[in-house]
Structure 1
Amino acid sequence: MSDDRQLGFDTLQIHAGTEPDPATGARQVPIYQTTAYVFKDADHAARLFNLEEVGYIYSRLTNPTVAALQNRIAALEGGAGAVCCSSGHAAQIMALFPLMGPGLNIVASNKLYGGTVTQFTQTFKRFGWSAKLVDFDDPAAVEAAIDDNTRALFCESLANPAGVPTDIPAMAAIADKAGVPLVVDNTAATPYLCNPIEMGATLVVHSTTKYLTGNGTVTGGAIVDSGKFDWMASDKFPSLSQPEPAYHGITFGAALGPMAYTFHGIAIGLRDLGMTMNPQAAHYTLMGIETLSLRMEKHVENAQQVAEWLEADPRIDSVSYAGLASSPYHARGKELFPKGAGALFTVGVKGGYDACVKLVDSLKLFSHVANLGDTRSLIIHSASTTHRQLSPEQQEAAGAGANVVRISIGTENAADIIADLDQALTAATA
């Protein structure tokens, strides 16, 4: 937008990163369903390929619809730039790709989505990378885990599945002391509830599949760079601080300043890994973001009511939700997430594993799916699905024990959500 006033979140989620289409005047961002773009002449093509000029080359790298989404997400997160890709898991690989190399490691929270734990502890080995999973509620343990080969700290703002809020400022201070970036997955909170960059994070990743799109239609991921990390301050990050042979010796950190990491993500990450977001997915996500604040307010309002009702129900052993006054994370949640503790939490059901399975099978309004952040209320038994590959000890640490179900509260009427849980609990604990 041409007006550089500081706009409010509700305005940015509709307008940031977009202008009326210059060719047609179309108000909504068009879906630029094209593979390639015509160069003005040979010199123009050469400048683009040399990173001397910004423009469109090939849709594996850049696409106007995807670019609009990148700009909007960067604006909402307060970042210098963003790169969108094909999924949240792709975003994690792409976020770490410029930082890592064989023999290097990250220190990550042990409270993570089960698929992320598997990616970090198993798939990373194929790259020669490793991950140390540590309790991020113990800053001393985090500091102790960092060594000369550590290149990043990684956590989730609201940990999946239990909705546990991470003390991002404390982790940012530890990362700064170690001279490494803090990477925060902000999927479950969204930039409406949490701004990790304001709290000191270097990079923010998203599964845009979830709340940003909000309608369960497309997969996608995003990496947002704060633009504040000095990649030239040490030799830890040669991809950004040393000459890049694939681009005639350009040093991204020196040549591109605050946009170095973002340009590297496009020019190297998307070029070589090919984890491209398609323009139709970007279009759906842009439309979803237009109502993000409205949806998140309703998600949080419903989640609070449902969590309070469940906590009072004698058929329930426990509810892990930072919005509850009884939660050990309540004070941290109020401080770091003043608009609400999200809409993702876990519930311990009396009767254990069997009761959880019966509960899932007895629900009618809820959808039993491996997703979260939809307008529909969703449920899953994490121990037998999303966290199935983890050991029982890892499941417990992640908040996904055998007696626990994960609930993603939607935007339906709260009374209807509660009624569905009530009848299903009756069936599950009979």
Structure 2
Amino acid sequence: MRYLIEHRFVENSARAGAKFLIQRKGLSKQMIGEYLGNLQNQFNQDVLECFVDEIDLSGLQIDVALRTFQGFFRMPGEAQKIERLMEAFARRYCECNPDVIKKFRTTDTVFLLAFAIIMLNTDLHSPNVKQERRMKLPDFIKNLKGIDDGDDVDADLLAGIFERIRQSEFKPGVDHVTQVMKVEQTIVGKKPQLAQSSRRLVCYCRLYEVNDPTKKEKIGLHQREIFLFNDIMVVTKIFAKKKTSITYSFRQSIPLVGTQVYLFETAHYKHGVRLISSLDGKPLITFNARNEHDRTKFVEDLKEAVYEMNEMEAMRIDEEIQKHNRHSSDSGVVDIELLKPCDPTPNRFSAPELKKSQLTNSLTDITDGAIAQRRGSEGSLDSGMVSASSASNMAKEEIQNQTKSPKTTSGSRLSALFGKKSRPSKSQLRQSTTESSEA
């Protein structure tokens, strides 16, 4: 966020930052939750207040409103961060539902209910809680006795909350990480961890690996299923194919930073693509596409991703150089010049030059008068190639989002937290949830 503000992609205001987090696609829900829960940075806290103001919670039951609210991010694990998020939610809910609030003796009841709902969701749906120890409705009602400044919350209201959460787990909104997680579940074998907050799926396509471009091989002999992410290329082979799902076996992964892409044509391979390391010039892998259309679309996506990663690496190196120079000026050590990665992807073979995109960090269209928008990769491939959204649905089983709610909390801990006659304080909430997280 600081970088975007410094380079005028985002206006230097909390409200602009909040709108960016809500409206901009391609942001990790987990990182949004961590950002909003940052208690050390006042700007982050200001963004949180503006963030909740952008969400309309009018006319919703408190658990439904909380579900809507949490759909914009992934709940962090620290109790203090959860408490801060629940305070902001409670304030906004009270503003949007003044008639509902009149039924409570104090607005703090909304905060306590929201906190209890988060803990109930964890208790009912965490795989770490045994079925026989999961919260029951009578326990839930009993544990919340007296939270409304000494009075009880309506039992029917609590029963409705309990039943809705029991039937449907709280889940954060779908993002690019969710998509990568689904793809990761379809690949078997010793593969790198694919699901990362910075990684997104660009495209999926089918190519044919070529061992020697000068030798003819049987068509389709080395069929490969390629998952191109923004930072790596994962090469797989179909392992098992069913009516409703496909499983892939992992073969290799190739980092895109410092990679060059070349097109070639031989007597046996008319639509060749070769990846070469810019460090030593050694070939990394060679493919042949089924036709020129497939090759062009794939190479456009590939070159765009390589260019983006090289720019990101150059920025990282610049930052390291600045840190090094600051350290050297303080210590008297002579500066050491670092080399930056080469400009990517010239074409040395016979295929026509493919136009290189502008810096594709998906941020250029935020401001007025920005340079050309990023060309969308999704849906760009056909003739056997499918978009990222199609690729993610290949597996039959839906991969559950792993919420970052507080750690497993048993019924006994909830009872200890909410079973008192008097309303528990926020400090007690924080202490109890911290213990639950440690457990």
Question: Quick check: which has more Rg, 1 or 2?
Answer: 2
> What TM-score does the superposition give when structure 2 sets the normalisation length?
0.26
> What TM-score does the superposition give when structure 1 sets the normalisation length?
0.26
